[in-house]
Structure 1
Amino acid sequence: MDTRTRIAWNLRRLRIAKGLTQENLAVDAGVDRSVISDLERSKHNVSVDLLDRLASALAADISVFFVIPPEDDEAAPPLKVGRKPRA
């Protein structure tokens, strides 16, 4: 697994674990939602500054993006589609 794919894998895993949509994470990190989508599909070369903003938005250390996933680790399941109902 190359580094770009590893970052994509870990970004998606962390975002799903926090229950954030791509749009929510994008707003928190100050980027467009399409940037998050491109990163998760390994289509965008990420800068250290952006990794730092993403880590802050996910309340994690930047090093989590470089963790090698276990061989048997499956892809993170998608979140439910649609907006959450208002309280």
Structure 2
Amino acid sequence: MKGRALVAWNLRRLRVERGVSQERLAADAGIDRAYLGGLERQAENPTVDLLDRVAAVLNVPMAELFVTPAPGDAPPKPLPGGRRR
């Protein structure tokens, strides 16, 4: 798996595990929500500084964004859509 794919996989995995929306994570990291969505779709190429900010917001070491999934791991599912009450 290439670097951009690893970041996309782990970013979504960590975000979903914590129950954080793209909108909230983007706001806390100081980036646009559409850009964050692009990261998760492998459409954007993030800088090290941006990955450092995102990891800090998720409260994980930046290396956690580069963890290789185990063979057979299913891709992380997105959070349910819509606003929370």
**Is 2:46 aligned against 1:37?**
no
CA distance in 1, matches of 2:9, 2:83: 24
Paired position in structure 1 for 2:52: 52
Paired position in structure 1 for 2:64: 64
5+ residue gaps, structure 2: none
CA distance in 2, matches of 1:74, 1:14: 14
Q: Which has the larger radius of gyration?
A: 1
Paired position in structure 2 for 1:75: 75
Paired position in structure 2 for 1:10: 10
Matched pairs, number: 85
TM-score normalised to the size of structure 2?
0.96
TM-score normalised to the size of structure 1?
0.94
Any idea what SS the aligned residue of 2:60 has?
A: coil
User: Are 2:35 and 2:44, in contact at CA under 8 Å, matched by a contact in 1?
Assistant: yes
CA distance in 2, matches of 1:44, 1:78: 18
CA distance in 2, matches of 1:49, 1:20: 21
**Aligned-pair distance for 1:20?**
0.6
Any idea what SS the aligned residue of 1:37 has?
A: helix
CA distance in 1, matches of 2:19, 2:75: 15
1:7 alignment partner AA = V
**Aligned-pair distance for 1:77?**
1.7
